[in-house]
Structure 1
Amino acid sequence: MIFRERTDVGEAKRMFLAGINSIDRTEVLPSRSAIGRVLSASILAPRNVPHYRRSAMDGFAVRSVDLIGASPTNPVMLQISDEIMEGTCTPVNTGDYVPDDADAVLMMEDTISIGDMIEIRAQVHPGKNVGEIGEDVRKNEIIFNKSHILRPCDIAVLASLGISEVKVYSKPVVAIIPTGNDLLPLPGSEEPAPGKTLDINSLMIGEYVEKWGGSARYCDIVPEDANLIEEAIKANLDTDMIVVSGGTSVGDRDFVPAVVEKLGRKLVHGVGLSPGKPTALGIVENVPVLCMPGYPAAGLVALFAFGKPALRKSGNIPDIPDTTVKATLSGKILSREGYVSYARVILEGNIAHPLMTAGAGILSSIAKSDGFVIIPENVEGCEERSEVDVVLIE
């Protein structure tokens, strides 16, 4: 496979992202349905939390002045009462309202009950074990900033404030166009005939699009025909991003990069990515187009390297660092200088076993692996027993 040019991965990514505009569409959702969504506006607290003085302990609401000098050798006796006044206390549980005339809560462990009296053997200072109004959240305080990704704990905070709806960015719509005369649609319960293969790439791409915060639009398989590929791309220019699977190499029937160039701007064709060299990137009528290799493993690497950051920029989704772990290689990993290499490894404790360092079409090697060791383009492989960062496969 010969490419006239091979663009550096970092430069290709920079060019691609520079041509992507973030969407401005928004929608209002019930808070409980907004987990994982991105806020399109900051949220202010409509009220205090707590909105009353509450007890942080099981015990007795007291006036701290009544307990001055209390100790095991000099206990103080208080009358249990429903009202707080000099010489009285009121039983409270955790979270209960603390009467206005009380300024502290004495822990149950520091008391001994004697009929309707309690013997107190410890002092407390004003405010002890009392949650003040607005201690957790102050009214008009910014709770979450614009572009915050809502988590389950955030939804609970919203519920505590009585916020039942939130305004979020709409999910970016990604059209997935599979190409190839050999492809068959899913599901396929029977074994395909020789020379035919199931379109698993569309499923893989769509699942990652949904996982990363987008909405997948699945398209019919397009034969290896330049006119039909052109029609498919034009029909999906109402989306926020297009991913074309297959037809990106330099063979007689690899029409996709040329079609992108005809319709818009072809930014790159051929990147220093292993596997994933035949990747092409372009912009058609302000819609980013990722043309990924049809070989599954190569396509997935291209999707991780370019599709994920492009989707995040399009959808106003904050860039979240990959989850990585430190590990020691059990064997040597080879790589080509000038290419960013994604080497598949299996983790066993803190040991990383290389699984497959070559083979662009073997998807099962990714499913069997726990992550990638990403080797920079200026490094020729990794030696056995060297410490590496393993990027976990989502």
Structure 2
Amino acid sequence: MGKIFRERTPVGEARKLFLENISPIRESEEVPLEACAGRVLAEVVIAERNVPHYRRSAMDGYAVRASDTLGATPSNPVLLQLSENVGEGTCIWVHTGTAVPDEADAVLMVEDTVVVGDMVEARAQVYPNRNIGMVGEDVKIGDLIFEKGHFLRPCDASVLASLGFSDVRVLRKPVVTIIPTGDELVSRENTLEVPPPGMVLETNGLMAALYVEKWGGIPRCTKIVPDDPEKIADAVKASLDGDMVLICGGTSVGKRDHAPQVVESLGKLLVHGVGSVPGKPAALGVIGEVPIVCLPGYPVAGLVALYFFARPGLRKCGAIPEIPDTVLKMCLAAKLSSRIGYVSFVRVVFEGDRVRPLMGAGAGVLSSVAKADGYVLVPENVEGYEAGEEVSVFLIE
């Protein structure tokens, strides 16, 4: 493939081709429940105990024999003796979660009683098993709790804890190496001084690393690599022990843009140039079994490539279930323009119950993303939307 890309691959086609070349991770590890949220189960979980493992009171009140409350009403209460044991005509106090004595078969809510000395007026009739959580009511021995591949949430950790787990086996996280490239880049270690004209602080690597971590991977950042194809190739080769490589910058067709050609020389370049605005110069490839995403150097274009390709690639690599984006249906406060033949990533801000496109927000203006509340994806076959039209707004993570 030559340096000039004459055709740009549609975003959906490029993503499909890229994902077809990614194999999910199979290695697993044990992690404590305190660290399991956001991880993917590596094995089926079957209950080995009942929850609850005893009959427990579902209410604050009195453990009773249901037959002793027969006919009880507020106007015709039944008197029960407060005792340390449950027997005919007696009851004991129980808290929510307290074990219910074997002799009792119901719990009378405290709201349905009046205490007079050591006597309890039962003002409601209860039936057997009323207000009692039975053994195994929540989980029974042998129940399937979670399938392999389940994405664990904090509430799932609580369920596992109730079953006696302290650790759980999960798939290991994908390791993603991030290689910032560019002669114009200055390390953020030197942030106290303003770079000279023509030089900029390296920020794309930081953004990529934080998104990788947010999306379930482990970022591994290299030092800045100059615009030298041999040095970029060396950095990529040294990173192939990970699960994915993100090369930041050097993806276009200029004299200092070498990333796609390096990928092609080491493996297979699947796509160079995609039908998205911004993000056209993005490139995708695979070296051995390691997927490679070449992110454009312009920050917003790089962000778009992260969303379109790195995120789904990372999810497939880590066997992370697809999580629906947060999408709001809102009307436009102003016309939204786009370009036919390209998926347009248009940043928008909330304006009351409407959204307004951010104007003058080019691919190099990263602050436009920080100012935006969300974005609208305009399909390739649509030439923008008129003011007042309803659009789908994706919230920026």
TM normalised by structure 1 equals: 0.97
Identity %: 58
In the alignment, which of 344, 349, 356 is matched to residue 346 of structure 1? 349
Instruction: Note if contact 2:251-2:296 (Cα within 8 Å) is conserved in structure 1.
Output: yes
**Given the alignment of the two structures, is residue 375 of structure 1 paired with residue 351 of structure 2, yes or no?**
no
**4+ residue stretches of structure 1 with deviation over 4 A?**
none
In the alignment, which of 378, 384, 387 is matched to residue 384 of structure 1? 387
2:236 is matched with 233
In the alignment, which of 245, 251, 254 is matched to residue 254 of structure 2? 251
2:50 is matched with 48
Instruction: Note if contact 1:343-1:356 (Cα within 8 Å) is conserved in structure 2.
Output: no
Once the two structures are superposed, residues 276-296 of structure 1 have per-residue CA deviations (whole angstroms, 9 ceiling, x without a partner) of: 000110011110000110000
**Given the alignment of the two structures, is residue 305 of structure 1 paired with residue 308 of structure 2, yes or no?**
yes
Once the two structures are superposed, residues 152-196 of structure 1 have per-residue CA deviations (whole angstroms, 9 ceiling, x without a partner) of: 222222222220011111110001011111011113221100000
Query: Counterparts of 1:287-366 in structure 2 under 5 Å?
Result: 287-356=290-359, 358-366=361-369
Aligned residues: 394
SS in 1 for 2:193: coil
Deviation at 1:358, TM superposition (A): 4.8
In the alignment, which of 15, 18, 36 is matched to residue 17 of structure 2? 15
**Given the alignment of the two structures, is residue 215 of structure 1 paired with residue 205 of structure 2, yes or no?**
no
2:171 is matched with 169
1:156 is matched with 158
Instruction: Note if contact 1:180-1:246 (Cα within 8 Å) is conserved in structure 2.
Output: yes
Instruction: Note if contact 1:62-1:105 (Cα within 8 Å) is conserved in structure 2.
Output: yes
SS in 1 for 2:188: coil
Deviation at 1:2, TM superposition (A): 6.2
Instruction: Note if contact 1:334-1:357 (Cα within 8 Å) is conserved in structure 2.
Output: no
In the alignment, which of 187, 195, 204 is matched to residue 201 of structure 1? 204
The amino acid across from 2:255 in the alignment is D
What stretches of structure 2 of length at least 5 have no aligned partner? none
Deviation at 1:325, TM superposition (A): 1.2
1:319 & 1:356 partners in 2: Cα distance? Answer: 32
Once the two structures are superposed, residues 312-350 of structure 1 have per-residue CA deviations (whole angstroms, 9 ceiling, x without a partner) of: 000111110111112111111111111000000111342
Deviation at 1:19, TM superposition (A): 0.2
Instruction: Note if contact 2:333-2:351 (Cα within 8 Å) is conserved in structure 1.
Output: no
2:94 is matched with 92
What stretches of structure 1 of length at least 5 have no aligned partner? none
TM normalised by structure 2 equals: 0.96
1:267 & 1:324 partners in 2: Cα distance? Answer: 30
1:85 & 1:293 partners in 2: Cα distance? Answer: 78
CA RMSD of aligned residues (A): 1.4
Instruction: Note if contact 2:260-2:272 (Cα within 8 Å) is conserved in structure 1.
Output: yes
2:135 & 2:352 partners in 1: Cα distance? Answer: 48
Instruction: Note if contact 1:63-1:104 (Cα within 8 Å) is conserved in structure 2.
Output: yes
Query: Counterparts of 1:16-35 in structure 2 under 5 Å?
Result: 16-35=18-37
1:38 is matched with 40
The amino acid across from 1:32 in the alignment is E
Deviation at 1:252, TM superposition (A): 1.8
SS in 1 for 2:208: helix
Deviation at 1:88, TM superposition (A): 1.2
Distance 1:382 1:2, change over 3 A: farther
2:75 is matched with 73
